Amino acid sequence: MNEEIRDEITTNLRLISLIKVNEKISVRKGHLRIDRETNVQSIKRWFRGDCRDDMIFFLRNLLKKLGEIELPNRGKFKNELSGVEVGLNNIKTTYSEDPVVVVQMENIWEKLNNLLAE
């Protein structure tokens, strides 16, 4: 397994685990960023063109990269699961009024578990 790809996946899984309720994800130049909750968070996100679709696309792409790793090497990411579950649940809470995001986070969690259980 390419060490650069492994590090990228590990870093992104750990960043997801750090997301708290009301924090949001933005993607800059292909890298995950956490937008901390501030009084001007929504204005900054609007100005930069951040959107939920970019977050979902990024997370799906992360799963795709993980799925491309040979089966025996995927187990190295299992220790990140509990933190990722917390982060995805926090995203679901943040976007609780948007059923599409809630369902997408549930699907992403299910797919991640399936990938790492194989």
User: Of 18, 113, 32, which Cα lies nearest the Cα of 75?
Assistant: 113
| Range with the poorest average pLDDT among 14-23, 29-38, 91-100 | 29-38
β-sheet bridge partners, residue 28:
31
Mean pLDDT of 56-79: 90
Give the predicted TM-score (pTM) of the model.
0.85
Mean pLDDT of 65-88: 90
* Contacts for 81 with CB less than 8 Å, ≥ 6 apart: 112, 113, 116
What does the pLDDT read at residue 32? 85
What does the pLDDT read at residue 5? 87
Q: What single-letter DSSP state applies at residue 69?
A: S
Runs of H (alpha helix) within 18-51: 41-48
User: Tokens at residue 69, please?
Assistant: 């790793």
β-sheet bridge partners, residue 34:
25
The full set of domain ranges for the chain reads 3-117
What does the pLDDT read at residue 45? 66
- Judge whether 66 and 115 are in contact, CB under 8 Å: yes
- State the first-to-last Cα distance of the chain, in angstroms, to the nearest integer: 17
What proportion of the chain, given as a percentage, has pLDDT over 70?
94
Mapping DSSP to helix (H, G, I), strand (E, B) and coil, where does residue 56 land?
A: helix
Q: Which residue has the tokens 């969690």?
A: 109
